[in-house]
Amino acid sequence: MFAALGDPLCQLQQPRNIADPHPVYRKLRARGPFYRSRLGYWATTSYQLSNEIMRDPRFGMRNRAGVVTFSDDVTRPSLSLVTESMLKQDPPDHGRLRRLASPAFRRGPLADKVGKTIEKTVQTLLGEAEVRGEFDLISDLATPLPITVIAELLGVPNVDIGRLARYGVVLGAAMDGLRSRQHLRDFRQSSGELTELFRRLIEQRRSDPADDLLSVLVAARDEDVITEPELMASCRLLLMAGFETTVNLIGNAVLSLLRNPDQWELLTERPELAHGAVEETLRYEPPLQANLRVAHTDVVLAGRRIPADSTMLVLLGAANRDPDVFDEPDRFDITRAGPEHLSFGGGIHYCLGAPLARLEAEIALRALAEWMPGLRLAGRPEWRPGATVHGLLHLPVRNGRQ
């Protein structure tokens, strides 16, 4: 209703704006540094303000009563999955939980532990795709790669890639609210099955620890470093966040490259530009379009008073194309230099899995450019539902040399 009445922030949820939200972002930017939706949210499209808000200790993840905003709202049930995880914690609890997992996600240890797994998995998946000639880049590469890697890192054996992929789509879409009764049923089923999976694994690790992140978390619970709800929430968060971002990053990168043939040709000529292609995709078509922060106190920014307990949406997808910061912001350029994008957040909540997502995407894009320089679109891309998580359900492609 509010979208029909002209609220741009609500219009982001309309199906026609899912694939390309930037016309709506431009409307919001024209309203000034801040926009207040009729739903009560504040939002900013400004790079400077977005960066400032994510680093400002006056903004956090909970309101002054210590409650996660919308955690009890039936339209946003997915937040309840991570209420006890680091994602929705303020200091000091955020630091306590983050310190447990952070060593496993540093670039050096990651490359040592899972680098060979990434390379081997990419080669296997591309070898199978090469034989077929035409394939779905999402289901045949972008999804199985990060699920295989995060499952090994976390310690989830005999992983069912298809099932976890479905969990990711259902739970990710719920970040924008439930769309139907069927979505509610799917959400409850996915959430319940994921919880049951980790209950079994946690009991196994208590009796038989292994060299994996799950064992580290279980030991921390048994030593009273974290609580049982925090353990369960952290496991779910690390698994889902560990592959969801990368699935969408790889898919968005390949689509952006193929829609800009000069950039794809450049990458095939110089595969070492895979790093630049990843960073430009994160700026140009980020997998996560918005971050949420709550004002802990009254805050004055850009001449506007933001009342305490106000919910602020930092529109990353818009900030990354702020024309005051980026030259030709709507141009996809894998050689771009200049300010860093904001797609992994900022401040104490900077994305823990950023090194892993970058490593997987770089290896995948380099291998694609080397193995399949004739790669072409083979059909219409299908975008996943929801405005917050921005990615593809299907991306049909073919190897043009076949």
- Backbone φ and ψ for 311, nearest 5 degrees, come out as -95, 125
Of 81, 57, 58, residue with least CA distance to 68: 81
pLDDT digits 0-9 by tens, 266-298: 999 999 999 999 999 999 999 999 999 999 999
- pLDDT at residue 258 tops 90: yes
Whether residue 348 is contained in a domain is answered as yes
Domain carrying residue 242: 8-58+77-399
Whether residue 71 is contained in a domain is answered as no
- Paired tokens of 101: 């997992």
pTM over 0.85: yes
Give the model's pLDDT for residue 61. Answer: 87
pLDDT digits 0-9 by tens, 183-204: 788 888 888 888 888 898 899 9
Whether residue 317 is contained in a domain is answered as yes
Q: What is the mean pLDDT of residues 378-398?
A: 93
Q: What Cα–Cα distance (Å) separates residue 49 from each residue in 63, 140, 142, 263? A: 20, 39, 33, 31
- pLDDT at residue 374 tops 90: yes
Give the model's pLDDT for residue 65. Answer: 74
Whether residue 66 is contained in a domain is answered as no
- pLDDT at residue 300 tops 80: yes
Q: Which residue has the higher pLDDT, 203 or 70?
A: 203
Whether residue 27 is contained in a domain is answered as yes
Give the model's pLDDT for residue 307. Answer: 95
Give the model's pLDDT for residue 81. Answer: 47
Q: Which residue has the higher pLDDT, 387 or 400?
A: 387
Burial class from Cβ neighbours inside 10 Å (0-12, 13-18, 19+) for residue 70 reads: middle
- pLDDT at residue 381 tops 90: yes
Q: What percent of the chain has pLDDT over 70?
A: 92
Of 187, 200, 225, residue with least CA distance to 81: 187
Whether residue 307 is contained in a domain is answered as yes
Whether residue 64 is contained in a domain is answered as no
Q: Write out the H or E segment, with its range, that includes residue 187.
A: helix 181-207
Q: What is the mean pLDDT of residues 167-184?
A: 70
Looking at residue 340, what DSSP letter applies?
A: P
Whether residue 346 is contained in a domain is answered as yes
- Paired tokens of 222: 């048994």
Q: Which residue has the higher pLDDT, 159 or 155?
A: 155
Q: Mean pLDDT over all residues of the chain?
A: 88
CA distance 343 to 251: 16
Q: What is the mean pLDDT of residues 60-85?
A: 57
Q: What percent of the chain has pLDDT over 90?
A: 55
Count of domains in the chain? 1
Q: 136: which strand partners?
A: 396
Confidence of residue 176 (pLDDT cuts 50, 70, 90): low
- pLDDT at residue 75 tops 80: no
- pLDDT at residue 83 tops 60: no
- pLDDT at residue 76 tops 50: no
- For position 41, which CATH number holds? 1.10.630.10
How far does CA 386 lie from the centroid of its chain? 13
- pLDDT at residue 148 tops 60: yes
Q: Are 85 and 230 in contact (CB under 8 A)?
A: yes
Please state which of the ranges 72-76, 221-225, 360-364 shows the lowest mean pLDDT.
72-76
